[in-house]
Amino acid sequence: FVAARAGDPAAVAGLAVIGRYLGIGIANMIVVVNPDVVVIGGGISAAFDLLKTRVRQPAIAFGLTDSVAFAIVVAPTIALVE
């Protein structure tokens, strides 16, 4: 992700491929489960700012229902509870 942030063309192209397939997978999951929110966790969430648009476009294009357009895809946040 560091190389993509620095503008490395191969890394940026790799993120485009990852985003496309992740978006297609998310669209399939949304069609089956119909969640209101999809949280992207793990290591990929560190680059979610770079992937958000690349994930959303194919998710909407490959989704079979309107629910894909309305589901919110987010990276996780941590809240400390006292």
Q: What is the pLDDT of residue 33?
A: 85
Q: What is the pLDDT of residue 76?
A: 72
The Cα 64–Cα 82 span in angstroms is 42
The Cα 80–Cα 10 span in angstroms is 38
- Per-residue pLDDT 10s for the chain (82 aa) are 889 889 999 999 998 999 889 888 888 888 888 888 888 888 888 888 888 888 888 777 776 666 666 667 777 776 545 5
For residue 25, give the nearest of 50, 52, 67, 62 by alpha carbon: 62
Q: What is the pLDDT of residue 63?
A: 67
Query: What distance, in Å, lies between the first and last C-alpha atoms of the chain?
Result: 34
Q: What is the pLDDT of residue 57?
A: 81
